[in-house]
A and B are shown apart, each in its own frame.
Chain A
Amino acid sequence: MQYLFSVIHDSEALATDEEMAAIDVFNDRLQADGHWVFAGGLGFPYSATVIDNRGGDALVTDGPFVESKEYLAGFWIIEAADLDVALRLATEASQHCNRKVEVRPFL
């Protein structure tokens, strides 16, 4: 079972050196314990571009698909047996990256 951990942030501050170091420690443990699938940090919302090609005539828009104070700053995809395990990992993830984390299952 895989879960997406969305890292939610509300300011344009990058992770500090201490936060990055804590995230590295957490990632190493995710890998050692077999929970690791993938993770990454994302550029700021202003660096986003939205493409709408549903009508065949691709429309390109500068900026994120939704403007909001809180945004997706990064994510983990982890492997966990059930939500209790995922929530325990997300609790640690939030502490290590010092940001809110949303947990959502993959279908």
Chain B
Amino acid sequence: MSDTDVPAAITAAHRSEWARVVAALARRFGDLDIAEEAAAEAWAAAVERWPADGVPPNPGAWLTTTATRKAIDRIRRENKRDGKHREALILYDDGAPEPTGPIDDERLRLIFTCCHPALAPQTRVALTLRLVGGLTVAEIARAFLVQESTMGQRITRAKAKIAQARIPYRVPSAEDLPARVAGVLAVLFLVYNEGYLATGPDTDPVRRDLTGEAIRLTRLIRALLPGDGEVAGLLALMLLTESRHAARVSATGELVTLDEQDRGSWDTGLIAEGHRLVRERLAARVAPGRYQILAAINAVHTSARDIRDTDWSQIVALYDQLVHVDPSPVVVLNRAIAVAELDGPDVALAAADRLDGALAGYHAYHATRADLLRRLGRGPEARAAYDRAIALAGNTAEIAYLSRRRDQLGR
């Protein structure tokens, strides 16, 4: 094997095997901390040995065996020192055979444990990226703009809480499953959104490491829960959003809105896969949840080869459906944006203005009003709204876009 193939093999094994190795060790040793550390040590061993010994025929098995040995070494070391303490920290596992079925996968236990509702939402995101996604603490800290030590402590505390409070290491029972799957999807959607509209002055406006990881983990959930409509919906939503990434930021680092994007640079492969999933859900004839409806809206957008071909009446109808499922102010605002294309900016502005109480601190609310006011020829009010949007926005490309639009307004 050539020198260049070994790093590629290690990266590939990291992508496909990390979660499996952590999950298998967590199950066997009943301790997430040991599982995580031993998995990291196994990959370090691969980096050291594979260039000399060659990539083993079954990298996953090699890594699992190596990680298991590392874990046993550590337990032996620590048992000599403080066996009692170690025993107290052992992860709870009731030991009874779980009902096996299509969703009996070690990685699923891991994901559900990381996304347990007793953990704070930010902590669920961080734990999932570390234990399931295999991102380093430094990478996660950078993604969420906190110090590495802060993120490290958050993850360490979460693992300690899981052990001390006995958060169970298992797939939830059938009655709890829908709510718990919703919690997992919310985590993955948060990761995706942070990647697609990244926060902070020193980061890329689109973090493809995060969007890619969110898609990869959602694919994993999809493989484990193929019949779940919202899982399919979220995956479709991510794929159809991701398909537009190349057109989203201009060469000068400015956000490009949907109406101005170069549709020729959209990724047709991702669009085709997303459309397939949306069609699959339509054929299921089950009332769709919010991710499926959002995916359908994105399917309509990505079906139009030109902005003028967009079927706005269908998009507004889908937003009506979405408001029914999720009547939050942000959804109502997005519906107003579509209404502007169908009934005119004055109707949309009236709808948006009613949200002032709820969304006064949300940059997209002011950006939407600014655009509608601009189209209505109300320059001074548009300028004030752009100013508010720019002050509240956290994404460099979006700030650049809003600033140009504001500065184009006549005096």
Contacts and interface: CB of A to CB of B under 8 A. Distances in A.
Contacts of A105: 164-166
A82 B95 CA distance: 13
Q: Which of A83, A87, A105 gathers most chain B CB within 10 Å?
A: A83
Given A83-B118, A104-B165, A107-B164, 10 more contacts: A81-B94, A82-B94, A82-B167, A82-B168, A83-B167, A84-B176, A87-B118, A105-B164, A105-B165, A107-B88
Interface residues of B, number: 13
B172 interface: yes
Interface of A: 1, 81-84, 87, 103-105, 107
B401 interface: no
Q: Which of B88, B117, B164, B166 gathers most chain A CB within 10 Å?
A: B166
B165 A84 contact: no
Contacts of B176: 84
A1 B94 CA distance: 12
Contacts of B50: none
B92 interface: yes
Contacts of B116: 83
A84 B94 contact: no
Nearest to A85: B168
B88 A83 contact: no
Contacts of B167: 82-84
18 contacts: A1-B92, A1-B166, A81-B166, A82-B166, A82-B167, A82-B168, A83-B116, A83-B118, A83-B166, A83-B167, A83-B168, A84-B167, A84-B172, A84-B176, A104-B165, A105-B164, A105-B166, A107-B88
Interface in B162-216: 164-168, 172, 176
B174 to A, nearest CB: 13
Contacts of A1: 92, 166
B169 to A, nearest CB: 9
A1 B165 CA distance: 9
Interface string B112-149: 00001110000000000000000000000000000000
Nearest to B117: A87
A105 to B, nearest CB: 5
A58 B52 CA distance: 69
Nearest to A88: B176
B165 A83 contact: yes
Contacts of A87: 117-118
A81 B164 CA distance: 13
B111 to A, nearest CB: 16
Contacts of B172: 84
Nearest to B168: A82
A3 to B, nearest CB: 8
Interface in B276-325: none
B82 to A, nearest CB: 14
B116 to A, nearest CB: 8
Interface string B80-100: 000000001000101000000
Q: Which of B88, B94, B165, B176 gathers most chain A CB within 10 Å?
A: B165
B88 A84 contact: no
A105 B118 CA distance: 13
B53 to A, nearest CB: 43
A82 B164 contact: no
A1 B164 CA distance: 10
B45 to A, nearest CB: 34
A43 B176 CA distance: 37
Contacts of B92: 1, 82
Contacts of A104: 165
Q: Which of A81, A84, A104, A105 gathers most chain B CB within 10 Å?
A: A84
Nearest to A1: B166
Contacts of A82: 92, 94, 166-168
